[in-house]
Amino acid sequence: MPNRLALIFPGQGSQYLGMGHDLYQRYPAARAVFDEADELLGLELSKLCFEGPEEELHDTINTQPAILTMSLATLEALKGRHHVQEIAFAAGHSLGEYSALVASDHISFADAVRLVRERGRLMKTAGENRPGGMVAVLGLEAEVVDEACQLAGEETGTVVQVANYNSPGQIVISGEQEGLEKAMKLVKYKGARRVVRLAVSIASHSPLMESAAQGLRQVMAKSWTDSSFKRPGSQWSPM
Protein backbone atom coordinates (compact mmCIF):
# COMPACT_ATOMS: atom_id res chain seq x y z
CA MET A 1 0.00 0.00 0.00
CA PRO A 2 1.38 3.48 -0.85
CA ASN A 3 2.44 5.67 2.05
CA ARG A 4 0.52 8.67 0.70
CA LEU A 5 -3.25 8.25 0.73
CA ALA A 6 -6.40 10.14 -0.26
CA LEU A 7 -9.26 9.39 2.11
CA ILE A 8 -13.02 9.99 1.97
CA PHE A 9 -14.98 9.60 5.20
CA PRO A 10 -18.66 8.57 5.45
CA GLY A 11 -21.61 10.43 6.92
CA GLN A 12 -24.81 9.50 8.72
CA GLY A 13 -26.57 6.39 7.55
CA SER A 14 -23.37 4.34 7.40
CA GLN A 15 -23.63 3.20 11.04
CA TYR A 16 -24.43 -0.41 11.90
CA LEU A 17 -24.69 -2.45 15.06
CA GLY A 18 -21.38 -4.06 15.97
CA MET A 19 -19.25 -1.56 14.09
CA GLY A 20 -15.69 -1.26 15.33
CA HIS A 21 -15.78 -4.28 17.63
CA ASP A 22 -13.22 -6.24 15.61
CA LEU A 23 -10.94 -3.20 15.38
CA TYR A 24 -11.23 -2.65 19.13
CA GLN A 25 -10.13 -6.21 19.80
CA ARG A 26 -7.32 -6.39 17.22
CA TYR A 27 -5.70 -2.94 17.18
CA PRO A 28 -4.58 -1.09 20.33
CA ALA A 29 -4.54 2.24 18.46
CA ALA A 30 -8.17 1.79 17.43
CA ARG A 31 -9.09 0.76 20.98
CA ALA A 32 -7.50 3.96 22.26
CA VAL A 33 -9.76 6.06 20.01
CA PHE A 34 -12.91 4.38 21.32
CA ASP A 35 -11.70 4.63 24.91
CA GLU A 36 -10.93 8.34 24.48
CA ALA A 37 -14.39 9.00 23.06
CA ASP A 38 -16.01 7.21 26.01
CA GLU A 39 -14.02 9.32 28.46
CA LEU A 40 -14.55 12.64 26.66
CA LEU A 41 -18.31 12.19 26.32
CA GLY A 42 -18.89 10.55 29.67
CA LEU A 43 -20.87 7.70 28.12
CA GLU A 44 -20.21 4.19 26.85
CA LEU A 45 -20.18 5.09 23.17
CA SER A 46 -18.09 2.04 22.35
CA LYS A 47 -20.66 -0.28 23.97
CA LEU A 48 -23.44 1.44 22.03
CA CYS A 49 -21.53 0.82 18.78
CA PHE A 50 -20.79 -2.80 19.62
CA GLU A 51 -23.99 -3.89 21.36
CA GLY A 52 -26.67 -1.24 20.83
CA PRO A 53 -29.56 -0.81 21.40
CA GLU A 54 -29.75 -0.29 17.66
CA GLU A 55 -32.49 2.33 17.96
CA GLU A 56 -30.22 4.47 20.16
CA LEU A 57 -27.33 4.07 17.71
CA HIS A 58 -29.56 5.47 14.95
CA ASP A 59 -30.45 8.52 17.06
CA THR A 60 -28.48 11.39 15.53
CA ILE A 61 -27.16 12.59 18.91
CA ASN A 62 -25.34 9.23 19.16
CA THR A 63 -24.89 8.47 15.47
CA GLN A 64 -22.66 11.45 14.83
CA PRO A 65 -19.97 10.83 17.48
CA ALA A 66 -20.22 7.09 16.79
CA ILE A 67 -19.41 7.45 13.09
CA LEU A 68 -16.65 9.97 13.78
CA THR A 69 -15.10 7.62 16.34
CA MET A 70 -15.40 4.60 14.07
CA SER A 71 -13.84 6.54 11.19
CA LEU A 72 -10.83 7.68 13.20
CA ALA A 73 -10.39 4.28 14.83
CA THR A 74 -10.31 2.73 11.36
CA LEU A 75 -7.73 5.28 10.28
CA GLU A 76 -5.51 4.51 13.27
CA ALA A 77 -5.75 0.77 12.53
CA LEU A 78 -4.87 1.48 8.89
CA LYS A 79 -1.85 3.54 9.88
CA GLY A 80 -0.58 0.83 12.18
CA ARG A 81 -1.10 -2.05 9.78
CA HIS A 82 0.24 -0.41 6.63
CA HIS A 83 2.70 2.10 8.09
CA VAL A 84 0.98 5.05 6.46
CA GLN A 85 3.28 8.06 6.65
CA GLU A 86 1.27 10.78 4.92
CA ILE A 87 -2.36 11.55 4.13
CA ALA A 88 -2.24 13.58 0.93
CA PHE A 89 -5.94 14.48 0.80
CA ALA A 90 -8.90 14.04 3.13
CA ALA A 91 -12.56 14.74 2.41
CA GLY A 92 -15.87 13.68 3.85
CA HIS A 93 -19.52 13.31 3.08
CA SER A 94 -21.51 15.64 5.36
CA LEU A 95 -20.60 14.53 8.91
CA GLY A 96 -17.51 12.94 7.36
CA GLU A 97 -16.05 16.41 6.88
CA TYR A 98 -15.30 16.47 10.62
CA SER A 99 -13.43 13.17 10.35
CA ALA A 100 -11.47 14.64 7.45
CA LEU A 101 -10.55 17.70 9.53
CA VAL A 102 -9.17 15.45 12.25
CA ALA A 103 -7.33 13.24 9.76
CA SER A 104 -5.70 16.29 8.17
CA ASP A 105 -4.73 17.65 11.63
CA HIS A 106 -6.87 20.79 11.44
CA ILE A 107 -8.75 19.98 14.65
CA SER A 108 -8.14 17.45 17.39
CA PHE A 109 -10.20 14.33 17.88
CA ALA A 110 -11.21 15.63 21.32
CA ASP A 111 -12.57 18.86 19.84
CA ALA A 112 -14.30 17.02 17.01
CA VAL A 113 -16.06 14.38 19.09
CA ARG A 114 -17.43 17.00 21.48
CA LEU A 115 -18.48 19.20 18.58
CA VAL A 116 -20.36 16.50 16.68
CA ARG A 117 -22.08 15.39 19.87
CA GLU A 118 -23.37 18.95 20.24
CA ARG A 119 -24.17 19.05 16.52
CA GLY A 120 -26.19 15.88 16.99
CA ARG A 121 -28.02 17.35 19.99
CA LEU A 122 -28.93 20.48 18.05
CA MET A 123 -30.09 18.47 15.04
CA LYS A 124 -32.10 16.10 17.24
CA THR A 125 -33.89 19.07 18.80
CA ALA A 126 -34.54 20.55 15.36
CA GLY A 127 -35.90 17.18 14.23
CA GLU A 128 -38.21 16.93 17.23
CA ASN A 129 -39.57 20.39 16.48
CA ARG A 130 -39.93 19.68 12.76
CA PRO A 131 -39.87 15.88 12.20
CA GLY A 132 -38.57 14.47 8.94
CA GLY A 133 -36.38 11.88 7.29
CA MET A 134 -34.29 11.01 4.24
CA VAL A 135 -34.75 8.67 1.28
CA ALA A 136 -32.30 7.40 -1.35
CA VAL A 137 -33.60 7.25 -4.92
CA LEU A 138 -31.71 4.98 -7.32
CA GLY A 139 -31.86 4.80 -11.08
CA LEU A 140 -33.60 8.07 -11.90
CA GLU A 141 -32.37 11.30 -13.49
CA ALA A 142 -31.77 14.26 -11.20
CA GLU A 143 -34.27 16.47 -13.04
CA VAL A 144 -37.03 13.90 -12.59
CA VAL A 145 -36.34 13.53 -8.87
CA ASP A 146 -36.27 17.30 -8.42
CA GLU A 147 -39.60 17.66 -10.21
CA ALA A 148 -41.14 14.93 -8.06
CA CYS A 149 -40.01 16.73 -4.90
CA GLN A 150 -41.42 20.03 -6.08
CA LEU A 151 -44.77 18.45 -6.92
CA ALA A 152 -44.89 16.54 -3.63
CA GLY A 153 -44.13 19.71 -1.70
CA GLU A 154 -46.81 21.67 -3.50
CA GLU A 155 -49.46 18.98 -3.05
CA THR A 156 -48.76 18.40 0.65
CA GLY A 157 -47.70 21.88 1.69
CA THR A 158 -44.55 20.46 3.29
CA VAL A 159 -40.79 20.73 2.84
CA VAL A 160 -39.27 18.05 0.60
CA GLN A 161 -36.25 18.51 -1.64
CA VAL A 162 -33.14 16.97 -3.11
CA ALA A 163 -30.48 16.88 -0.39
CA ASN A 164 -27.52 15.05 -1.95
CA TYR A 165 -26.45 14.25 -5.50
CA ASN A 166 -24.34 11.29 -4.44
CA SER A 167 -23.57 10.01 -7.92
CA PRO A 168 -25.25 9.62 -11.31
CA GLY A 169 -28.24 7.44 -10.52
CA GLN A 170 -28.15 7.87 -6.74
CA ILE A 171 -29.89 10.90 -5.23
CA VAL A 172 -31.02 11.50 -1.66
CA ILE A 173 -34.11 13.51 -0.83
CA SER A 174 -34.93 15.04 2.54
CA GLY A 175 -37.95 16.61 4.19
CA GLU A 176 -41.09 16.25 6.26
CA GLN A 177 -42.71 12.84 6.45
CA GLU A 178 -45.88 13.58 4.47
CA GLY A 179 -43.90 15.17 1.66
CA LEU A 180 -41.40 12.31 1.62
CA GLU A 181 -44.16 9.72 1.37
CA LYS A 182 -45.68 11.55 -1.59
CA ALA A 183 -42.31 11.99 -3.27
CA MET A 184 -41.52 8.29 -2.82
CA LYS A 185 -44.74 7.35 -4.61
CA LEU A 186 -43.99 9.78 -7.43
CA VAL A 187 -40.42 8.60 -8.07
CA LYS A 188 -41.54 4.98 -8.02
CA TYR A 189 -44.23 5.84 -10.59
CA LYS A 190 -41.61 7.63 -12.69
CA GLY A 191 -39.46 4.50 -12.82
CA ALA A 192 -36.94 4.63 -9.96
CA ARG A 193 -35.09 1.33 -9.67
CA ARG A 194 -35.06 1.46 -5.85
CA VAL A 195 -36.37 3.81 -3.19
CA VAL A 196 -34.78 3.27 0.24
CA ARG A 197 -35.43 4.92 3.58
CA LEU A 198 -32.14 5.90 5.21
CA ALA A 199 -31.25 5.01 8.79
CA VAL A 200 -31.30 8.63 9.97
CA SER A 201 -33.64 10.23 12.49
CA ILE A 202 -33.69 13.72 10.95
CA ALA A 203 -34.07 15.58 7.65
CA SER A 204 -30.44 16.58 7.08
CA HIS A 205 -29.50 19.08 4.37
CA SER A 206 -32.94 20.68 4.37
CA PRO A 207 -34.49 23.88 5.78
CA LEU A 208 -35.78 21.80 8.71
CA MET A 209 -32.23 21.99 10.14
CA GLU A 210 -31.96 25.79 10.07
CA SER A 211 -32.29 26.18 13.85
CA ALA A 212 -29.51 23.60 14.33
CA ALA A 213 -27.30 25.47 11.86
CA GLN A 214 -27.76 28.70 13.79
CA GLY A 215 -26.97 27.02 17.09
CA LEU A 216 -23.87 25.34 15.68
CA ARG A 217 -22.58 28.64 14.29
CA GLN A 218 -22.76 30.11 17.80
CA VAL A 219 -21.01 27.11 19.38
CA MET A 220 -18.22 27.08 16.80
CA ALA A 221 -17.71 30.83 16.86
CA LYS A 222 -17.28 30.75 20.64
CA SER A 223 -14.92 27.78 20.43
CA TRP A 224 -12.88 29.54 17.77
CA THR A 225 -12.64 32.67 19.92
CA ASP A 226 -11.50 30.49 22.83
CA SER A 227 -8.82 29.04 20.50
CA SER A 228 -9.82 25.43 21.18
CA PHE A 229 -10.07 24.64 17.46
CA LYS A 230 -6.94 26.46 16.32
CA ARG A 231 -3.99 24.41 15.07
CA PRO A 232 -0.64 25.71 13.82
CA GLY A 233 -0.87 26.51 10.13
CA SER A 234 -4.59 25.75 9.91
CA GLN A 235 -6.65 27.83 7.52
CA TRP A 236 -9.95 26.27 8.56
CA SER A 237 -12.72 28.57 9.72
CA PRO A 238 -15.76 27.43 11.71
CA MET A 239 -17.97 29.55 9.45
Residue 232 pLDDT: 41
Q: Summarize the confidence of residues 173-188 as an average pLDDT.
A: 97
Burial of 24 (0-12, 13-18, 19+ CB in 10 A): buried
Domains of the chain: 4-127+214-225 (3.40.366.10), 133-201 (3.30.70.250)
Burial of 80 (0-12, 13-18, 19+ CB in 10 A): middle
Q: Is the pLDDT of residue 128 over 80?
A: yes
Query: 181-205, pLDDT tens digit by residue?
Result: 999 999 999 999 999 999 888 999 9
**Active-site pick, 46, 106, 174, 205:** 205
Q: Summarize the confidence of residues 142-161 as an average pLDDT.
A: 97
Q: Summarize the confidence of residues 115-131 as an average pLDDT.
A: 96
Residues with Cβ within 8 Å of residue 42, at least 6 apart in sequence: none
Residue 234 pLDDT: 43
Q: Summarize the confidence of residues 90-95 as an average pLDDT.
A: 94
Q: Is the pLDDT of residue 127 over 70?
A: yes
Q: Is the pLDDT of residue 231 over 70?
A: no
Q: Residue 52 CB: number of other CB atoms within 10 A? A: 13
| Range of weakest confidence among 24-28, 62-66, 77-81 | 77-81
Q: What is the DSSP letter of 17?
A: T
Per-residue confidence at 226, pLDDT binned at 50, 70, 90? Answer: low
**Active-site pick, 14, 46, 71, 94:** 94
Residues with Cβ within 8 Å of residue 55, at least 6 apart in sequence: none
Residue 236 pLDDT: 40
**14, 71 contact by CB (below 8 A):** no
Cα(214)–Cα(20) distance, integer angstroms: 32
- Return the amino acid letter for 97: E
**What average pLDDT does the chain have?**
91
Q: Is the pLDDT of residue 6 over 50?
A: yes
Residues with Cβ within 8 Å of residue 223, at least 6 apart in sequence: 111, 115, 229, 238
Q: Is the pLDDT of residue 239 over 90?
A: no
Query: How large is the C-alpha radius of gyration of the chain?
Result: 19
Residue 80 pLDDT: 81
Q: Is 237 a catalytic residue?
A: no
User: Bridge-partner residues for 87, per DSSP?
Assistant: 5
| Range of weakest confidence among 36-50, 53-67, 76-90, 149-163 | 76-90
Listed residue (239, 234, 229) closest to 111, CA to CA: 229
Residue 3 pLDDT: 64
Q: Is the pLDDT of residue 51 over 50?
A: yes
Per-residue confidence at 1, pLDDT binned at 50, 70, 90? Answer: low
Residue 222 pLDDT: 80
Q: Is 108 a catalytic residue?
A: no
